[in-house]
């Protein structure tokens, strides 16, 4: 390997390392905007120029394309800011940047709390909402954007009753029969009779983007970081 090839490789590796921080900040901005007053702005972090851009939320459906995301974040999600609360934290970040540096995969466990006021303006109900995010990211137009996002809902229940007794929100079903919405790909929330799979898995290493199926493939075995080359 000559000096020019070594420099090219080092520049790519530096770009991949910096991408991890940029993607973490991107998801941070997404979750900050995932609030009743600003949830409509979350669409700005997606690669709307790609026809297969998508967001899958629990068992609500897979919202595809710019039209689908606008239907979700602007037409379905918005709620009265007063008295409502949506807080979904990001934990245990696992980010894998493709070898070619053009895309990335990420998984975050996400504990959350909510307060939802009924449509008639009654007293808000305190809720637990725990799950995980999995996402594909694409580097396009000089910046990282969300290509595919999936929210795996593990529990959603009232604070008072808890997730073992309150199963009323375990299956909520599609919220639209729109042409922009496709059937869910995976939904396995907790119930006293369920078996929880290791989904989404740790993002596997990969060379170039080849689809989003990895996110619903259960983790088969424990993984450890691979040692770098000897120097």
Query: Which pLDDT belongs to residue 108?
Result: 98
Q: What is the DSSP letter of 35?
A: S
What residue numbers bound the domain in which 192 lies?
Answer: 3-198
Domain membership of residue 158 (yes or no) is yes
**Distance separating alpha carbons of residues 32 and 30, to the nearest angstrom:** 6
Q: Is 226 inside any structural domain?
A: no
Could you tell me if residue 217 is inside a domain? no
What CATH number is associated with residue 119? 3.10.450.50
> CA–CA separation, 101 vs 193, rounded Å?
42
Rg (CA), the chain: 19
In a domain, 184, yes or no: yes
What helix, strand, coil percent values describe the chain, rounded to 5? Answer: 25, 30, 45
Residue-level pLDDT at 200 = 97
Strand intervals (E) in 103-222: 103-110, 112-116, 125-140, 143-158, 181-182
Question: Is residue 216 one of the residues assigned to a domain?
Answer: no
pLDDT, block means (10 residues), the chain with 231 residues:
87 97 98 95 97 96 96 89 95 97 98 91 93 98 97 97 96 83 95 96 95 90 52 35
DSSP H helical ranges for the chain: 3-33, 65-70, 162-165
> Would you say residue 204 lies in a domain?
no
Q: Which residues pair with 94 in a beta bridge?
A: 107
Residue 7 within a domain = yes
Q: Which residue, among 58, 56, 50, 92, has the nearest Cα to 72 in the 3D structure?
A: 56
Give residue 127's pLDDT: 97
| Partners of 155 in the β-ladder | 130
Q: Is residue 228 part of a domain?
A: no
What pLDDT shows up at residue 229? 39
Total number of domains constituting the chain:
1
Tell me if the pTM is above 0.85.
yes
């Amino acid at each position: 390997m000559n000096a020019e090839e070594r420099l090219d490789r080092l520049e790519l590796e530096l770009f991949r390392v910096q991408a991890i921080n940029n993607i973490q900040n991107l998801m941070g901005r997404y979750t900050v905007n995932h609030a009743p007053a600003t949830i409509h702005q979350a669409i700005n972090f997606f690669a709307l120029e790609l026809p297969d851009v998508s967001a899958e939320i629990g068992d609500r459906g897979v919202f595809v394309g710019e039209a689908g995301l606008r239907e979700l974040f602007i037409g379905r999600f918005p709620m009265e800011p007063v008295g409502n609360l949506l807080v979904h934290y990001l934990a245990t970040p696992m980010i894998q940047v493709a070898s070619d540096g053009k895309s990335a995969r990420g998984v975050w466990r996400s504990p959350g709390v909510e307060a939802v006021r009924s449509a008639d303006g009654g007293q808000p109900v305190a809720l637990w909402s725990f799950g995980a995010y999995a996402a594909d990211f694409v580097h396009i137009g000089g910046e990282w954007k969300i290509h595919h996002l999936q929210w795996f809902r593990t529990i959603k229940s009232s604070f008072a009753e808890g997730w073992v007794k309150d199963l009323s929100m375990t299956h909520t079903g599609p919220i639209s029969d729109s042409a922009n919405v496709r059937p869910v790909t995976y939904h396995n929330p907790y119930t006293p009779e369920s078996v929880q799979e290791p989904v989404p898995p740790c993002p596997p290493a990969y060379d170039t983007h080849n689809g989003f199926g990895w996110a619903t493939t259960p983790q088969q075995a424990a993984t450890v970081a691979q040692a770098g080359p000897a120097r």
